[in-house]
Amino acid sequence: MSTPARCEPVVRRLRDTPDDVRLLGEAYERLYRPQFPDPNERESLDNILDSLRRGGVGDDRYYVAVAEDASGPAGGALGLVIADFLSGPRAGMIEFVVVDPAARRLGLGSRLLDWVERQASDDCRSVGLGPLLALCAELEDPLLVAAAGGQDPVARAAWWSRRGFRALDFPYVQPALSTSQRPVRHLLLMVRTDRADMRACAAPGWVASLVIEYARFAMRRDEPERDPTVAGMLAWLGERSAVGWVPLEPYRGLSHGVG
């Protein structure tokens, strides 16, 4: 008798149901926490659950999705992504994507990114804003951090580069995720876009909108412009006529990828 073929992993959006909340908790502890050892970068499970229950604010949307093996036992998440659709800058924003180390090189990370982009594109059109402008994400700067949580920062940068992302050339700082955490100053803000008018540079006003709306929605800042880290970025942007790109190509192919 032949052995049944292994089912392809599927991407599924999580909802505010008991089974999905349980799966999220399991994925948080097994996948997310070990890969984000810096407590200032790590969102709390309580905040994620609160955002999952809200689902969105106005035209902005919050996504939690898993890649899971349909042939395996219930609750087996192989990958996890949390992301937002931000209507102001018409952008999808990936808060993080993680893949089980044992399931890397199966294309799960790319599949999760593409799922977010399709979802954000659909939501952008559904609220009457037209096509999505960009897919964005944060990345630890390989020049500023060492390997941690089983992740090589150079390999991680190469992985994002192979998927078409470039870093914005400006001093990005992630605002503190809570009153007990500190701002994170070793991150790059990355963008993937096929817009011809963003090929050479990005408009400072668009970058400012991205920074403000991400802080408002994901960091829960009612007045993000009053946050010192946001105010500092806005001041820097206000002095520029354009924001250039930092290519990630130099990191390509130097080590193994993340999924």
Dihedral Cα 89, 90, 96, 99, nearest 10 deg? -160
Angle at alpha carbon of residue 140, lines to 66 and 56, rounded to 5°:
45
Domain 9-251 carries which CATH code?
3.40.630.30
What pLDDT score was predicted for residue 150? 55
What pLDDT score was predicted for residue 69? 79
Supply the Cα-derived Rg of the chain in whole angstroms: 18
Contact 115, 143 (CB under 8 A): no
Instruction: Give me the tens of pLDDT residue by residue for the chain, a chain 259 residues long.
Output: 333 344 578 899 999 999 999 999 999 999 999 999 899 999 999 999 999 999 999 999 999 999 987 665 544 899 999 999 999 999 999 999 999 988 888 899 999 999 999 999 999 999 999 999 999 999 999 888 765 545 678 888 989 999 999 999 999 999 999 999 999 999 999 999 999 999 999 999 999 999 999 999 999 999 999 999 999 999 999 999 999 999 887 765 454 444 4
What pLDDT score was predicted for residue 210? 98
Give the separation between CA 129 and CA 127, rounded to whole angstroms.
Answer: 6
Q: Which residues contact 112 (CB under 8 A, 6 or more apart)?
A: 11, 65, 67, 79, 80, 81, 97, 99, 259
What's the pTM value of the predicted model, to 2 decimals? 0.90
Domain boundaries along the sequence of the chain: 9-251
**CA distances (Å), origin 137, targets 72, 79, 95:** 30, 17, 6
